[in-house]
Amino acid sequence: MNKEQVRNRIGEIGIIPSIRVSSAADAVFAAEAVAGSGIPIVEVTMTVPGAIQVIGELTRSNPSLVVGAGTLFDVETADRCLDAGAKFLTTTGLNLEIVAFALKEETVVFPGALTPSEIIMAWKAGADFVKVFPCSAVGGAHYIKTLKSPLPHVHLIASGGVNQQTAAHFIHAGATAVGIGHDLIQPDAIKRREVGWIRELASRYVQMVREARGQE
């Protein structure tokens, strides 16, 4: 899958599940549960033990799954993630070195940013999307709506505070996609290996995004 296809898939689905768990086995379980529920995208954060190996395992066993690397801090780690099969790179804050690296490698990238200045800087640097984080701390969906007024051309991903009560509001406000962590991948569901629980939540989020976009 090339860069354009990955970018289109993220825009089409509109949901990026972020896997931030305490073991590699938990991460693989969570990713495979999500993949079987209509969300063929996962972000494996570098806080997961053995995260790069998890990316490699997931890309080998699930070729149709778009696996990305999150919470990246340096180009060296980003490079290792690409070698393992990552299809997109994302950071918590604005890291222009990783944006430049992703452009060179023809890889989808969405750095984290919060202020209008950071968002504009990220977009002008060549980001495919800009992850607004932590969104809930600065007004949630209202903040996204405020940003989209002067920046209608910037593709924003709302992250931080996205849950079943707020997901549709972020899409209505103009977010291209939403990043969801433990509100989709529940710790208890991971602990109990409850595939059905995760898939039920995933199906709900898929439906919310579709309805918010007026697709159904």
Residue pLDDT tens, the chain, 216 long:
899 999 999 999 999 999 999 999 999 999 999 988 889 999 999 999 999 999 999 999 999 999 999 999 999 999 999 999 999 999 999 999 999 999 999 999 999 999 999 999 999 999 999 999 999 999 999 999 999 999 999 999 999 999 999 999 999 999 999 999 999 999 999 999 999 999 999 999 999 999 999 854
The pLDDT of residue 104 is: 98
The pLDDT of residue 90 is: 98
* Domain CATH code at residue 84: 3.20.20.70
- Chain centre to alpha carbon of residue 107: 14
- The verdict on residue 147 lying in a domain is no
Could you give the number of structural domains in the chain? 1
The pLDDT of residue 38 is: 87
The pLDDT of residue 36 is: 85
Q: Is 117 exposed, middle or buried (0-12, 13-18, 19+ CB in 10 A)?
A: exposed
- The verdict on residue 194 lying in a domain is yes
pTM score, whole prediction: 0.95
Distance CA 109, CA 7 (A): 9
HSE-CB for 85 with a 13 A CA cutoff: 19
Is 43 annotated as catalytic? yes
- The verdict on residue 132 lying in a domain is no
The pLDDT of residue 37 is: 85
The pLDDT of residue 74 is: 97
- The verdict on residue 146 lying in a domain is no
Sheet containing strand 41-45, edge to edge, reads 108-110, 88-90, 66-70, 41-45, 15-19, 177-180, 156-159, 130-132, 112-113
Catalytic entry in 43, 57, 106, 216: 43
- The verdict on residue 94 lying in a domain is yes
- Full residue range of the structural domain in which residue 107 is found: 3-112+177-212
The pLDDT of residue 88 is: 98
The pLDDT of residue 215 is: 59
Catalytic entry in 131, 191, 200, 211: 131
- The verdict on residue 170 lying in a domain is no
Is 104 annotated as catalytic? no
- The verdict on residue 80 lying in a domain is yes
- The verdict on residue 44 lying in a domain is yes
